[in-house]
Chain A
């Protein structure tokens, strides 16, 4: 095996990032750095109501008092916030009437990524709110959705059209001062998506957003807010790739989900941002706060993530199970290769009675990367008969990577049941040999084995997304064997 693995490790580094291209679109920048004037300028450029400016300023002041978190199993280089441009928007030449008027270069970018708006519009029935850098370019299907009372638009638009909803829900799950990056995001968030599903409505299509970081040195501060009113359902997809850059790019997003009584939100992510080159240079720093609130009884939130990109991932999609009988799930596959570092997991906070949460985490480490699972299961004294099941599996490829598990469990109610299972395994030489003896190349064999390992999680993804994610897993480990 040793010989094989040396080869695997050696070849791992030969795999280049497939989406390393940039789009030459006219950009509008504001000056580098962060101060109160910049915050005001962002708000002013977006023509925001007073309450939002107040919100941003409060967040900025809070941020000034806070420090970068250092408890993750991560080695984070110092970030110079004065070198970051906090807002960039593609310049609009004129108001767009239809998709045909969208910048052809922009459409081309989507095509390269395999995200053809036309195709998606025509074939798959997926409404796409495509975000390039900070401003939404085009929202499709809005009309169809609007007929059912579903609101799905860019965050900026929602601020203009539904300020009352934004005011009511913004920051209600992730408070400004939750952590360093939430304060930063709350001060300077540029754009994102807003989604509201009215009472009793089952959203007929998968809603999806594609993020793409595209301007050098432009921090991305996305803000997503999803509200599912009583008895409603929505499946929301988020997928990202970013072009190759030498300098590290900061990304600090916030996603908030609120489910009212009997409502369900399924949130799926495939994340494939530039992970840095084989020497560990460059790559996206991804500090994300995602949290859902099962506000009403019998409500449900399900997070599914496939994380293959970013130089640093710091991300813990979490749920607060407030409503009685509410259900929360977290399914994750995190792949790290070369010098990537990931510290990811989930928090499940049980407040309501008979609440139930599940955590399934599958880490895959290759190269010289480090992959950590960090999770908190907290059972409040009020959460009678609540249950949690956590399973954290790690798969190692080669002998120079690391897998770490940091589970925290706090139980304050004797009637609750909390289970935790963890395994660590390696792709064995026997498995590879068995596949090869059946005519399957080493590379395909790794793809098969890894996808098999991650199956429990991939099965949670919507069909078309699952296929994409499977490909992504294989691509991420491509060149990993000879």
Chain B
């Protein structure tokens, strides 16, 4: 589904991602872990199409198509979703209107008929239930006045609404209490299917108690330096990132 080869990314001439490779197949859940400033969020932003980053080398294929040549909205319409680390507020725009506009645009792109108002509201209700988002949230403006937890739940709700093929969740667990964490994780698990894939970016192992990844990647200094199964996260939790540094240091030596 997603194939990243030898990716190099810079911002203002400073290289942040260096020769990164990553393969994600349908039906898989990946976790990317690593200390601050190693390029995890940059990777997610580049996948989504954030223009401030410059891809200097390498390729990203999404279902065989060159993702880097697609405009931001077309990536989204083709099924790429980014769960924001800091969801953006849009005052005066109701969640209902926001989602309606998004779904209309996506369906049009895919050559599907628009949903009727009735169908849409029913669909929205189902998805809200799925991710345990209180119905009153839908009438509020996009993320405006939402608590930190509500914002993150709202990201998962939008993911449920848009039914993406590939989701990057950028530190969706940060700042969540344990209940909110469970709600977010449950949402992700319920949305999992053989046809889609999820990449969760996280600092902490605790999210992985709820979302069980097929692969865990450790990112350090702009590269994936170690890949393993879910147990890698536990080792990392136990030994800390210094362990990686040490091991890398040994490798480099």
Using a CB–CB distance below 8 Å, which chain A residues touch chain B? 3-4, 428, 430-431, 433-442, 444, 448-449, 451-456
Contact = CB atoms under 8 A, between A and B. Distances in A.
B141 A437 contact: no
B73 A439 contact: yes
A4 B90 CA distance: 19
B48 interface: yes
17 contacts: A428-B88, A433-B48, A436-B49, A436-B71, A436-B72, A437-B72, A438-B76, A438-B102, A438-B162, A439-B106, A439-B162, A444-B105, A448-B90, A448-B93, A452-B91, A452-B92, A456-B92
A453 B92 contact: yes
A456 B76 CA distance: 30
Contacts of A448: 90, 93, 97-98, 101
Contacts of A451: 92-93
A3 B53 CA distance: 13
B120 interface: no
Nearest to B97: A448
Contact of A431 (B50, B88, B99, B101): B88
Given A440-B73, A440-B105, A448-B101, A435 B90 contact: yes
Given A435-B98, A451-B93, 6 more contacts: A434-B142, A436-B73, A437-B72, A437-B81, A439-B162, A453-B91
A424 to B, nearest CB: 14
A454 to B, nearest CB: 7
A434 B109 contact: no
B199 interface: no
Given A3-B51, A433-B50, A433-B72, A438 B90 contact: no
A272 to B, nearest CB: 22
B117 to A, nearest CB: 14
Nearest to B77: A439
A349 to B, nearest CB: 31
B105 A449 contact: no
Contacts of B72: 433, 436-437
Q: Which of B71, B98, B109 has the most chain A CB within a 10 Å cutoff?
A: B98
Interface of B: 48-51, 71-73, 75-77, 81-82, 84, 87-93, 97-99, 101-103, 105-106, 109, 141-142, 158, 162
A452 B97 CA distance: 10
Nearest to B101: A440
Contact of A437 (B76, B93, B97): B76
B93 A434 contact: no
Contacts of A439: 73, 76-77, 102-103, 105-106, 109, 162
Contacts of A452: 90-93, 141
Contacts of A438: 76, 98-99, 102, 158, 162
Given A433-B50, A436-B72, A441 B92 contact: no
A438 B107 CA distance: 12
Secondary structure class of chain A's binding surface, majority of residues: helix
A442 B162 CA distance: 18
B93 to A, nearest CB: 4
A441 B71 CA distance: 9
A380 to B, nearest CB: 35
A435 B84 CA distance: 12
B82 A437 contact: yes
Contacts of B105: 439-441, 444
Nearest to A455: B92
A444 B87 CA distance: 19
B92 A454 contact: yes
Nearest to B141: A452
Nearest to B78: A439
Q: Which of B75, B91, B103 has the most chain A CB within a 10 Å cutoff?
A: B91
B88 A430 contact: yes
Contacts of A454: 92
Contacts of A444: 101, 105
Contacts of A433: 48, 50, 72, 88
A181 B81 CA distance: 56
Contacts of B75: 437
B24 to A, nearest CB: 18
A140 B88 CA distance: 49
Q: Which of B87, B90, B142 has the most chain A CB within a 10 Å cutoff?
A: B90
A6 B158 CA distance: 31
A431 B89 CA distance: 7
A438 to B, nearest CB: 4
A448 to B, nearest CB: 5
A48 to B, nearest CB: 48
**Shortest Cβ-Cβ A-B pairs, 9 listed:** A452-B92, A452-B93, A455-B92, A439-B76, A434-B88, A436-B72, A438-B102, A439-B106, A439-B77
B76 A431 contact: no
A431 B90 CA distance: 7
Nearest to B93: A452
Contacts of B82: 437
A453 B142 CA distance: 12
B113 to A, nearest CB: 16
Nearest to A425: B91
A227 B99 CA distance: 44
A473 B81 CA distance: 29
B133 to A, nearest CB: 16
B124 to A, nearest CB: 14
Nearest to B79: A439
Given A444-B105, A451-B92, A452-B92, A436 B97 contact: no
Contacts of B97: 448
Contacts of A449: 90, 93
A441 B49 CA distance: 13
Contacts of B76: 436-439
A442 B73 contact: yes
A428 B84 CA distance: 16
A453 B51 CA distance: 25
A243 B213 CA distance: 62
A273 to B, nearest CB: 26
Contacts of B109: 439
A430 to B, nearest CB: 5
Q: Which of B75, B97, B102, B162 has the most chain A CB within a 10 Å cutoff?
A: B102
Contacts of B142: 434
